[in-house]
Structure 1
């Protein structure tokens, strides 16, 4: 078999006279040649000249008998004169000029017998990339090739998708690249799509054996589409054409029409494309997946092409990485993923200990800026993350202007990334924009946990969720062992990977976008309101203190802790009493009462059982309702203060308003005059004032704080040695009691 299956039948004079302009056959006079456009001469070729032709580009005559033996859809144009296609004996420069024709010369039988044949090898592994415009049938083709529904045919692909399977005794990897709009110019295709097309060859290292250019048979292929296809494929390089096969889908549309006849009838644009791909083409009918022969024949044609390419696959172009004198990095990820430790490892010293910070240093001859963004809870969806955290994530990229070169998505390698974690990761990164993925590297921490296991093996063994994430980030990843900071090579290699990614992004950094301006304006308004709130609270407290004088220093405090489950009531009771009195491990079904001495006062603390977060009163068991009502009677005569315990690291929504209101008003409507909102998880705030958090969270939380007379306090239960936070809480309780005319009773009816 000829390397590229190129048949070019002889043409009669009558047939030549019918050819379109630019399709002169080779038997022309000298005068005729002088009139041809430069680059389009097609001289007769002698036997000696033919012997110098590139291997695999001979075009022998084919008899009618030989033509009849070719399988339908085969990538060899055994056609009649009326069906003739242009020969590929044009140079690459000539081909790139467009579809105007170039006839191959006649070849004698003697010459034909001397042609070399390319023996296809049976490859045990095949790596395939599917390229093409949207709705061309790439995903259906992937499913047909693999023999099962591996590619989602309903949604749109914005990232490369890789799937594997056993096909006809071969291990086959299929990568689907995202498509461009049919007929679109390259400049109208989003940068993200262009980047993904360029990266599509990297998920099947060391490179694909074949790129299948997927074209629908039932749609005309015009000159506009030809230019669009050419520009998009040449994002990979000019070499791509030597490894490309045109894969026609919607094969059922042909009926009994040979594919060669369709190519001829479509005209110059499709003929040019087929020739540009070395006259390699195949037809798939994705409606007949049970027809395994069509896939087997495709595998054989790929092997023939590989043989014709000297057994070589498509070599991925390794972009020359830039050596950047400055690198700007943002660390993103869920809480406790190891972002702070990663920042310290990168900079080579202890710089990070809190969230939302920016640090700089010299690393491997570069000026490096590292910004750590606040984290979200690993399983929390975006709507469960406080507005303040979301704003800080969005603003994190603006702390290293004009924008970061790389965003490192920090993931612990020693804990599984499940399907439950997929959505939170995607939602929180998409806060920045869909473009963020082109600038993101997955950074695995706890690298010591791997031992001798390659990270690639770990990724494969973890399953689809982690594989999805790595593919979403363009198969860019790195492992850090933060226990071995003296190993500078791991940081140097990370810097090099960042520079390679920047080179792949055409030397550009992540653009912060207009959202930053909008967030900053919103932040400015919130800060003005925060200042007003702080002034208002300060004036009220000073007024109460002046009324109190020295006459209201309570020697005894009676406190009830109320709130939903896991809000931190037990830990708060322990912080107030300064010791482990409340069990933080189990659930409280009954009211629990404890005593102690705090700042010279006798303090009684009662923890009431909690309700489920977001649940309404009708969803709470009657027993729990009764225990909440009885909790105030456990500190006779009645409590001085009810502390409504809320986590500051979770949003307070309109659903929460109704839940809190219904459960507190079990005691009576007068309960609000004796209630202080107590925020737990104070460490989450960092340097952010609680007033800013209240303002940023919106109307629901603001309503609650106002209903409680703008009384609120923050506790960090991780810092129990900080007694000042408890002392300040005692003072706020005394002020509230003074504001209630020194009454602590009549809370309940």
Structure 2
């Protein structure tokens, strides 16, 4: 290796080996082209390590471009094959890279989870990789007149500063959208300085670990070849069976963002389908490859959460999907992402949701891997074999039936015709039969759905009547000042709700670990909003740290103006059950019994409802949620924190709070529904059998709650 005199006390290196790391879309490939003065290459994603040679600022340079990780995902959510690529990146420029460039774009928000993701992916190489790392900021034209130093210090609540400090305060900014010779020259000088500080040494991976990774990959490739042959033989056995379908019916199932809607676009060769989340079943029918194809898209569930956390409305939609393409689907396409790790919790979640349809559904299921373009030259069999036992178990459940779709290549009709061929082969294996649910299940589902709709209609009617009465009482009671305290479990959306109410990002985006107070003027009212730490959604109050409980209890002391209202924040896109109810009840005890009189339930993720009413969600969820709403005097409101430009959702909330305040000034909170309607609701709920007409045990428990006296001394004047 050529060496020359250096101002840093060691010989200067005239040939550099550089590895580029960073999340997807950070600009790694563009940075490689900029460093080497190469023309812009295809915008295709880097799926495997790519080694490029060239000259930069008079030095010979080898640059290794690597696959990027998803910015929001930690290392355990990155597919195993991709992590192996990152580990082997050092082996692509033996004996090892002089420098690792961590690429970060400056035109997007950088959060704590992004920092953790970067840290975990870099430390896959080894924890001392930071000694050989420089942070390179791309897309600097978006900084405008702001200096990069100011950006590092204030952006993302100093998360970027943490990364820069970890690299020994080494960073560089480079415009990858237009070549700048001086910027590249400065980068080379900084690399030379880092090498000098490290005594002229390059970064070296643990050789034993590298050997183990290479062996793992070799064995995975051998197993992938065997799997490919087994699948080919399996398909060959049924090749003679004749089951040509002129009418193909398919249902798409899968977790959220698995690529179901994209798969539908690919099947029909169109891009004009709405890309927003599927809230209800959507049926699409058209001619494909000479066949009439029907595809039923369904709502997805959360990828790692069990079936019990999925709202009842979504589970009912999944069940209904089977009957919406009569007499039943020929195939259930279970969508999975090929660019995200498949773990045990994902497998369990998938199996639980599929089992809603009955055990026989697996005989009619094909695994549909989306984002096939991100596999690059990696075969789907290599992905399956490298991921581990859980994905293999799921593939086995589907009898080795799987297919890959390239979501970026709509013109490739072959991938669709091959999918239809696999569907026909599966139907032939099933004796020409489609999937059909048990008729008793259908009837029970229909009966339950009609009952829920009837109760939801009645709830809307009673809410309208109650609202008319409340508005009359609240007429002329517009408040000049108001204090709001946000309560709820972690990830319920409290902080986002505070930002939506004030119409700004005053509360930031990081997790709330202590009370945060912000002020603002909204719709002619001066608001004080206090965000509080959340509790664990499923766990009792004993699991909440004492400091968090203390913060919550003291939140009211931060409210300085106007009547006090509590906003209990819940997510609409997650089920509410008995353990959540107990957690809410125990945490609200911190504020005394009268807290319920001052509380409005605020549902976030309002866009999840689609065209469905909030009342339909309430009635389908069961008794725990209905109990909670009754405790709050049936006061609730729906927010879509993704739609902050809608001022009406905030003004309507404030009006509901003013009605509550006016009502509490004139009388104690009481039920406003007619006795006849309450009786009918109880009958529909199956009440009246052994139900007590007097106080329930729950009521008696409430009356034995801790005394209000201490709390009232803190909040005197606010009620």
Shorter-normalised TM range: 0.5 to 0.7
Q: In the aligned structure 1, how far is the partner of 2:356 from the partner of 2:229?
A: 26
Q: In the aligned structure 1, how far is the partner of 2:646 from the partner of 2:322?
A: 34
Structure 1 residue corresponding to 2:230, chosen from 204, 227, 230: 204
Q: What residue is the counterpart of 2:487 in the other structure?
A: 562
Matched-pair contact (CA < 8 Å) for 2:283–2:295:
yes
Structure 1 position 318 matched with structure 2 position 239: yes
Matched-pair contact (CA < 8 Å) for 1:558–1:641:
yes
Deviates more, 1:650-659 or 1:573-582: 650-659
Structure 1 position 346 matched with structure 2 position 267: yes
Structure 1 position 378 matched with structure 2 position 303: yes
Q: SS where residue 591 of structure 2 aligns?
A: coil
Q: In the aligned structure 2, how far is the partner of 1:548 from the partner of 1:513?
A: 52
Structure 1 position 509 matched with structure 2 position 434: yes
Structure 1 residue corresponding to 2:506, chosen from 581, 600, 624: 581
Q: SS where residue 679 of structure 1 aligns?
A: strand
Matched-pair contact (CA < 8 Å) for 1:646–1:680:
yes
Q: In the aligned structure 1, how far is the partner of 2:519 from the partner of 2:653?
A: 17
Structure 2 residue corresponding to 1:672, chosen from 580, 596, 604: 596
Q: What residue is the counterpart of 2:104 in the other structure?
A: none
Structure 1 length-normalised TM: 0.57
User: What stretches of structure 2 of length at least 5 have no aligned partner?
Assistant: 1-221, 669-710
Aligned-residue offset at 1:700: 0.5
Compared with structure 1, are the counterparts of its residues 205 and 440 closer, same or farther at alpha carbon in structure 2 (3 Å cutoff)? closer
Matched-pair contact (CA < 8 Å) for 1:321–1:502:
no
Q: What residue is the counterpart of 2:384 in the other structure?
A: 459
Q: SS where residue 673 of structure 1 aligns?
A: helix
Matched-pair contact (CA < 8 Å) for 2:482–2:528:
yes
Aligned residues: 448
Q: Which runs of 4+ in 1 moved over 3 A?
A: 205-208, 637-640, 742-749
Matched-pair contact (CA < 8 Å) for 2:330–2:427:
yes
Aligned-residue offset at 1:748: 4.2
Matched-pair contact (CA < 8 Å) for 2:478–2:658:
yes
Q: What residue is the counterpart of 2:470 in the other structure?
A: 544
Structure 1 position 649 matched with structure 2 position 573: yes
Q: Which has the higher helix share?
A: 2
Aligned-residue offset at 1:583: 2.5
Within 5 Å, which residues of 2 pair with 1:125-274? 204-205=230-231, 207=233
Q: What residue is the counterpart of 2:256 in the other structure?
A: 335
Q: In the aligned structure 2, how far is the partner of 1:606 from the partner of 1:317?
A: 65
Compared with structure 1, are the counterparts of its residues 631 and 607 closer, same or farther at alpha carbon in structure 2 (3 Å cutoff)? same
Q: SS where residue 576 of structure 1 aligns?
A: helix
Structure 2 length-normalised TM: 0.59
Compared with structure 1, are the counterparts of its residues 742 and 554 closer, same or farther at alpha carbon in structure 2 (3 Å cutoff)? farther
Q: What residue is the counterpart of 1:525 in the other structure?
A: 451
Structure 1 position 618 matched with structure 2 position 542: yes
User: What stretches of structure 1 of length at least 5 have no aligned partner?
Assistant: 1-170, 176-200, 209-235, 237-314
Matched-pair contact (CA < 8 Å) for 2:231–2:400:
no
RMSD: 2.7
Residues 360-385 of structure 1 show CA distances to partners (whole Å, capped at 9, x for unaligned) of 22222222221111111111112222
Aligned-residue offset at 1:408: 0.5
Q: What residue is the counterpart of 1:413 in the other structure?
A: 338
Q: In the aligned structure 2, how far is the partner of 1:627 from the partner of 1:676?
A: 20
Compared with structure 1, are the counterparts of its residues 552 and 445 closer, same or farther at alpha carbon in structure 2 (3 Å cutoff)? same
Compared with structure 1, are the counterparts of its residues 359 and 555 closer, same or farther at alpha carbon in structure 2 (3 Å cutoff)? farther
Structure 2 residue corresponding to 1:690, chosen from 594, 610, 614: 614
Deviates more, 1:628-637 or 1:615-624: 615-624
Aligned-residue offset at 1:332: 0.4
Larger radius of gyration: 1
Matched-pair contact (CA < 8 Å) for 1:614–1:656:
yes
Matched-pair contact (CA < 8 Å) for 2:484–2:564:
yes
Residues 70-127 of structure 1 show CA distances to partners (whole Å, capped at 9, x for unaligned) of xxxxxxxxxxxxxxxxxxxxxxxxxxxxxxxxxxxxxxxxxxxxxxxxxxxxxxxxxx
Structure 1 position 484 matched with structure 2 position 409: yes
Matched-pair contact (CA < 8 Å) for 2:395–2:401:
yes
Matched-pair contact (CA < 8 Å) for 2:238–2:429:
no
Q: In the aligned structure 1, how far is the partner of 2:223 from the partner of 2:518?
A: 67
Q: What residue is the counterpart of 2:645 in the other structure?
A: 721
Compared with structure 1, are the counterparts of its residues 172 and 674 closer, same or farther at alpha carbon in structure 2 (3 Å cutoff)? closer
Aligned-residue offset at 1:580: 0.9
Aligned-residue offset at 1:205: 4.8
